[in-house]
Structure 1
Amino acid sequence: MRILAILCLLLLAPAAGAADRAQRAFDREIERKAAQAVVWGIPAVNYDLMRQEMLAKTPGKVGQVIYWGHPLDWKNQTLTPNPDALYFMVFFTTKDGPVVLDLPPAEDKASFNGNIVTAWQLPLEDAGLLGYDKGKGGKFVVLPPDYKDKLPDGYIPLKSEVYGGYMLFRSNLRSHGDADVQASIDYGKKLKVYPLSAAANPPETVFSDVKDILFDSTIRWDASFFDNLNRVVQEEPWIVRDRVMIDELKTLGIEKGKSFAPDRHTQSLLTKGIREAQALLEAKYDAGLPPFFTATSRWTYPAYPDLLKAVQADFNEPDAYPVDHRGVAYSYAYIGIKRLGAGQFYSISIRDKDGHAFDGGKTYRLNVPANVPVQQYWSVTAYDRKTHALIKNVSRASRSSQIPDLVKNDDGSVDLYFGPKAPKGKDTNWVPTDPKRGFELMFRAYGPTPEFFDKKWILSDVVRVGK
């Protein structure tokens, strides 16, 4: 009997080993495809995180407007936002028909910069003083996929591949003073949102001030990422260029028309996959973007050149689809810009002049040369290096040319300081950092002129001061 039992075990062992190998192969497939799905899907998840935060924490609803009634502070935990403009945001869906974004003309002391994007954050159009309308305002109408009807005269059609999307409307500030902030709010509230079907008698647009709400849409690097991704897959039609992902997502349990309910084992594999994607995206970001001002500048383009080119072509280039670079971009930022450089341009720095990562426990100086070639304003903002959101629990996040008491040097340049404490006598020109965390910087040029892109004006690299 003992010999028979041993023989049975020997006969069964190869089969058991094969089953184990097969299971490991299937598990690796889920992990691998989960990582790929994260890189591909992060623009849509980025969008959905903001939308869900609005629905869960604010009075706002789809088709209404939420706004921050003062310059953004750290309670706005979106990715690399601008604390030197007032933010108005509206999420929309065209499932029931076209949606009108009726935007106001610029006024003597009021204007805006706006971007309208799809649920995949593909830019539909830029609006405002330096947008499509050139400050005249206009009735932008977002059309659902395959919309065939003729629009009435006077509308600016925006053809979308999907139903969902949002608009970011930045109401410009003359200064951070109370009166100018209120004027910016009043101007922003002139925008209107309504269905095209109600254009003859539009309902009143609802506005909700969310300035005191902790609004956190930073990327969740855990298995919940796939809940957000599944929601978008269920809501939106497949874009032709993305159909290759249908089977990829099916492996993960995400399939249009079916519930997504991964078991505990699959959840663990999804978690491994997203952590792999996180490590990859962070490594690519840390490797740096192409320098902008000079060949050795630590100030870089805001995204990869091939991605910027693809955006201008609506991702319809026959031989290019930079999904990987898009994934990196939407891990640290949100919104899409149709004509980057016409209304605004951004430059990122993650290292000082000597190539060292910024340390929140050290002090740094940035010299902004005089006569910045912009029509509107410039600003520099510090973000948490890990989350790419505003640094938590600090008194302010940026300094800009809108600050009347910003101290200038004799040559007209401005020295800005970043660190845990203000250098003596430099408080006005200082941006606080968290001594326990790294940080990164973004330079914004609103209304950049040709001299900016001709590199006739060059932003200095950041230098560390003191010990």
Structure 2
Amino acid sequence: MRFVALLCLLLLGAPALAADKSTQQVFDKEIERKAVQAVVWGLPVVNYDLMRQEMLAKTPGKVGQVIYWGRPLDWRNQTLTPNPDALYFMVFFTTKDGPVVLDLPPAEDKASFNGNIVTAWQLPLEDAGLLGIDKGKGGKFVVLPPGYKEKLPDGFIPLQSEIYGGYMLFRSNLASHGDADVRASIDYGKKLKIYPLSASGNPPETVFSDVKDVLFDSTIKWDASFFENLNRVVQEEPWIVRDRVMIDQLKSLGIEKGKPFEPDQQMKSLLSKGMKDAQLLLEAKYDAGFPPFFSEKSRWTFPTYPDLIQAGGRGFDEENAYPVDHRGVAYSYAYIGLKRLGAGQFYSISIRDKDGREFDGRATYRLNVPPDVPVQQYWSVTAYDRQTHALIKNVSRASRSSQIPELAKNSDGSIDLFFGPKAPKGKEANWVPTDPKRKFELMFRAYGPTKEFFEKKWVLADVVRVDK
């Protein structure tokens, strides 16, 4: 009888046990889905925090100071798709204690900069420099904290932010990669200043730290640590009205303003699964490509989605548009926000050759750059690691540009660039090395593009594989 009774209890309990297990699976799947959404939504601010934390952990730099790379960028700079043909100065700031002044120098006879000032969400506040709103005059740009109402002194340019944190990317332009021109570009960049508005009458000296020899790795970490970065910014920054829908979603993941983020092992496992799904999703969308730029069949595309370009330029303040998914894709492979893409610079991406095949680091490719590129400043082509979207590790250089006087030209004035593990014979000056163990991608940059560039009167050819 005892055996029969026990059997009956087990049988009666089985449906309840099955239901509990099924219910738990539903809850777990919901957590994973919300984790995916949090990743896509939070990528811009985590991208920012990864760079900020790398500065704080590996360099002498601090918030409110300037770090810079005292030579053209090489593979030690593992940020997302950086430009190795300008000298980078980077400033992280916070307005929690009041407005912050970014005092930027005017262009000189042989010196200028291109700069972008953004919030922690990488929302563009303003483009500055020779091709920015100041048209090379420089100026005292003042980032204002949320709700700031006081009148600024004359001569200051207000930039109203929705949150406290942000940063500026200041690219000091190079005449060439020669030592003298690099030194001149550094000296010019060191004319920028950052200080509190409250100290504008007697600004303290700006601190600069050269980080050119630091392995500065802010590539996206596709694991549960992502949520630690996200939580840090959630704790630091006020909620933006349009993002309040995420409050409860993040709360279900253990991220809640004013409370510690302490996920248990089960939650960490679910967050890791969600992170991997988000990675697969974003990579698939990136692999699908952006709209072609030079022609309907061109393998050179816009740098991102047109609706995201429009939304960023309008401060994400459109009544019927908020392209969060497209924004997530963009900040999985790049950083910084441009207020007026095309006014000062324009980028184009290629992830496939003329025949539609991915770029293979074992193969050799040729890109013909036609003569008379319609730009006011310079053009460049950079190779990046296809998986990390950073500069290819352990190679001698990452790009070729019109700033390189030794580039060999064809009889018609065009230039053939080569990408591959070894330089074709006699083409060393026009060659960009690749890693034979890795896939790669290319970015074409046009600084100061003219009207003819956007009218497609000049067309960049697709890249051709030459060792088929």
Query: Deviation digits for residues 46-94 of structure 1, max 9, x if unmatched?
Result: 0000000000000000000000000000000000000000000000000
One-letter amino acid of the structure 2 residue matched with residue 308 of structure 1: I
Per-residue CA deviation, residues 381-423 of structure 1 (Å, 9 max, x unaligned), is 0000000000000000000000011111111100000000000
CA distance in 2 between counterparts of 1:362 and 1:168 reads 34
Cα distance in 2 for partners of 1:191, 1:312 equals: 25
* Structural mapping, 1:362-373, within 5 Å: 362-373=363-374
Question: How far apart, in 2, do the equivalents of 1:151 and 1:21 lie?
Answer: 60
Q: Which amino acid aligns with 1:348?
A: I
Matched residue, 1:332 = 333
Distance in 2, Cα, partners of 1:364 & 1:428: 15
Q: CA deviation at 1:17?
A: 1.2
| Post-superposition CA distance 1:144-192 (Å, at most 9, x none) | 0000111111000000000000000000000000000000000000000
The answer for the alignment partner of 1:101 in structure 2 is 102
- Does residue 110 of structure 2 align to residue 116 of structure 1? no
Distance 1:389 1:430 in 2: 19
Distance 1:43 1:276 in 2: 18
Residue 454 of structure 2 corresponds to 453
Equivalent in the alignment of 2:225:
224
Structure 2 letter corresponding to 1:7: C
> What is the Cα deviation at residue 463 of structure 1?
0.2
Who is 1:192 aligned against? 193
Could you say which residue in structure 1 is the equivalent of 2:430? 429
- What do residues 194-236 of structure 1 show as CA deviations (whole Å, max 9, x unaligned)? 0000000000000000000000000000000000000010000
For residue 275 of structure 2, what is the amino acid of its counterpart?
I
Distance in 1, matches of 2:25 and 2:381, equals 49
Please state if 1:82 is matched with 2:83: yes
Distance in 2 (CA, whole Å) between partners of 1:233 and 1:17 is 38
Matches for 1:31-430 after TM superposition, within 5 Å: 31-430=32-431
3-state SS of paired residue (2:360)? coil
Separation (CA, whole Å) in 2 of partners of 1:114 and 1:3: 80
Distance 1:160 1:305 in 2: 24
Classify the secondary structure of the residue corresponding to 1:324.
helix
The one-letter code matched in structure 2 to 1:333 is: A
Amino acid at match of 2:334: A
Distance in 1 of aligned mates of 2:132 and 2:326 = 25
Q: CA deviation at 1:19?
A: 1.0
Structure 1 residue 13 displacement after superposition: 1.2
What secondary structure is seen at the aligned counterpart in 1 of 2:147?
Answer: coil
SS in 2 for 1:175: coil
1:27 alignment partner in structure 2? 28
Q: Which amino acid aligns with 1:412?
A: G
How many angstroms does 1:7 deviate by?
1.1
Three-state SS of the structure 2 residue aligned to 1:49 is: helix
Q: Secondary structure at 1:180's aligned position in 2?
A: helix
Give the Cα–Cα distance (whole angstroms) in 1 for the partners of residues 354 and 12 of structure 2.
Answer: 67
SS in 2 for 1:252: coil
Whole-Å separation in 2 of the counterparts to 1:288 and 1:15 = 48
CA distance in 2 between partners of 1:388 and 1:198 (Å): 40
> CA offset at residue 15 of structure 1?
1.4
Q: Kindly provide the amino acid, as one letter, of the partner of residue 464 in structure 1.
A: R
- Residues in 2 aligned to 1:185 and 1:205: alpha-carbon distance in whole angstroms: 14
Runs (4+) off by over 6 Å:
none
Which amino acid letter does the alignment assign opposite residue 146 of structure 2?
Answer: P
Q: What is the deviation of 1:11?
A: 1.6
Tell me the alpha carbon deviations over residues 303-328 of structure 1, each in whole angstroms, 9 at most, x when there is no partner: 00011111111111111110000000
TM-score between both structures, scaled by the size of structure 2: 0.99
For structure 1, list consecutive stretches of 5 or more residues without a partner in the other structure.
none
CA deviations over 1:87-143 (Å, ceiling 9, x no partner): 000000000000000000000000000000000000000000010100000000000
- Equivalent residue letter for 2:331: Y
Once residues 66 and 129 of structure 1 are traced to their aligned partners in structure 2, the CA distance between those partners, rounded to angstroms, is 21
Tell me which residue corresponds to 2:10: 9
User: For residues 406 and 173 of structure 1, what CA distance do their matches in structure 2 show?
Assistant: 16
Please give the alpha-carbon distance, in whole angstroms, between the structure 1 residues aligned to 2:218 and 2:15: 49
How far apart are the structure 2 equivalents of 1:219 and 1:75? 16
The equivalent of 1:463 in structure 2 is: 464
Task: Provide the secondary structure at the position in 2 that maps to 1:402.
Answer: coil
The residue type paired with residue 250 of structure 1 is K
Q: Which amino acid in 1 is paired with 2:215?
A: L
Q: Which amino acid aligns with 2:328?
A: G
Equivalent-residue separation in structure 2 for 1:136 and 1:313 (angstroms): 24
Measured in 2, the distance between the counterparts of 1:58 and 1:151 equals 34
Give the structure-1-normalised TM-score. Answer: 1.00
Structure 2 counterpart of 1:436, which letter? Answer: K
TM-superposed CA distance for 1:14, in Å, is: 1.5
